[in-house]
Amino acid sequence: MSVLTDDALKAMIHNEGYLVETPEEMTEAYKKALIQILLVQADTELMSAPAYYMAACKAPSLNTRLSAYAIIQDELGHAHITFRLLEDLGMDKEHLIFGRKPNEFKNPFGFDQPLETWVELVMANAYFDRAGIVLLSDPFQNTSYGPWKRALAKVDKEELFHLRHGEVWMKRLCEAGGKIKAEIQRAADWMFPMGVEWFGMPDHLKRHTAQLEFKLKGKTNDQLRQDWLSAVVPLSESCGIKIPAHFDAESGHYVVDYHLPCDYDASQKQWLFDKPITWDQVFERWKRRGPTNEEYVNMFQRQYKQFMTSFNGGA
């Protein structure tokens, strides 16, 4: 552990562009914040795989199934890279993947939801992977943790492929019009607000966090949400998909046209815009987890448990 104080480390990072390379250079608080942010990334990558797999089972052709599997493999690879980083920080990779309970995974609420059709997979690529890119290109450019920064170079490029896949398909399906475009609209109706909420509490309600102070990331929640909106809103509009947000020329910002946050009926995949709630209530909903949380985690853990008990005489 570093002999520096937190303040001294923060000063070095902010003033000298200091990159932390090993656990020996970290303070306790730095390490704690780093583990927290890495775990969110690792779990998000990991849980996107079963979500995408669920939709890949509905792929409309061999070529589309191939693309879906390629994306799933990338996500697993990214999870693997990130769990390895956590391992370097003294965490037990095997326990993290196979030993935790479903509700202990830190993935966003969006990947606790079933992706039930090819359209939903495409939209997840277009909206959720865009969220992933926004969230990861920030540390790629700004993070003070060297090993993470370098690992993100590959991750970033591969996520761009997923995004392109999503956007190309979104456009193609919207051009088809009719029922197919209506299906895209339906997916956007629940997935767009999911993306908005993904970035968490607005800045005016949130204190500066250790993650920003240690420059594990460089941008605030609102800045990241703006980055996401500035890509997703024009994309949706160009496809003729209606979304509850617009560009406000006066402030120069994208604004959402409903009370953020609001309630969500997961069983119907429907946002209840007329039921505003508080962020504390959002966190409670996230904690209660979405409908497929257990199913997705079980997809990973079931065989490991069976394997360990039936062949080694106990887990």
Partner 1 sequence: MSVATEVCTEDRVWQALKDVNDPEMPISLVDMGMVYAIQIKNSTVKIQLGPTSTACPALDFIREDIEKRLQQENIERVEVEWVWDPPWTNDRISEEGKFILTTWGVSV
Partner 2 sequence: MNSQFESVAELPKEAKQPFYDLMLVLADSKHLLGLRYGEWLGAPAIEASISAVSMAQDEFGHARLFYGIITEFVKHGSKAREEIAKQYRNIETLDREFESWMDFIAANLLVDLALTIQIEAFQDSSYLPMRRMIGKISQEEEFHLQHAHGWLLRLAQESEKSRLGLEKSIKKIWIPVLHWLGNPESRSEKILLEMGLQKLDSEALRNRFVEVIGPLAEEAGLDLPISGDAVTGEWLLATELSWKGWDEAFRRLSKTGPDAATFAQIDCFHTHSYPVGS
The owner of tokens 């987890």 is 289
126 binds partner 1 (CB under 8 A): no
Q: Which is nearer to partner 2, 76 or 89 (CB)?
A: 76
Q: Which does 164 bind (CB under 5 to 8 A by kind): partner 1, partner 2, none?
A: partner 1
Whole-number Å distance between alpha carbons of 175 and 194: 24
Q: Which does 307 bind (CB under 5 to 8 A by kind): partner 1, partner 2, none?
A: partner 2
- Other residues' Cβ atoms within 10 Å of the Cβ of residue 179: 7
Paired tokens of 171? 């456009």
Q: How far is the CB of 269 from partner 2 (least distance, A)?
A: 20
Q: How far is the CB of 100 from partner 2 (least distance, A)?
A: 14
Segment interacting with partner 1, rule: CB under 8 A, options 10-18, 164-172, 207-215, 279-287 = 164-172
Strands 253-256 and 262-265: unpaired
161 binds partner 1 (CB under 8 A): yes
Q: Which is nearer to partner 1, 150 or 242 (CB)?
A: 150
Q: In the complex, which residues of this chain contact partner 2 (CB under 8 A)?
A: 49-50, 53, 56-66, 69-70, 72-73, 76-77, 79-80, 83, 93, 97, 118-119, 172-173, 175-176, 179-180, 298-304, 306-308, 310-313
Residue 225: phi and psi, rounded to 5, are -65, -40
Q: Which does 97 bind (CB under 5 to 8 A by kind): partner 1, partner 2, none?
A: partner 2
61 binds partner 1 (CB under 8 A): no
266-304: burial string, b at 16+ Cβ within 10 Å, e else = beebebeeeeebeeeebeebbeebbebbeebbebbbeee
263 binds partner 1 (CB under 8 A): no
Q: Which is nearer to partner 1, 74 or 227 (CB)?
A: 74
Q: Which does 311 bind (CB under 5 to 8 A by kind): partner 2, partner 1, none?
A: partner 2
70 binds partner 1 (CB under 8 A): yes
Q: Which is nearer to partner 2, 93 or 149 (CB)?
A: 93
How many residues contact partner 1, by CB under 8 A? 16
Q: Among candidates 106, 126, 108, 138, which has minimal Cα distance to 224?
A: 138
Q: How far is the CB of 171 from partner 1 (least distance, A)?
A: 12
Residue type, 119: V
154 binds partner 1 (CB under 8 A): yes
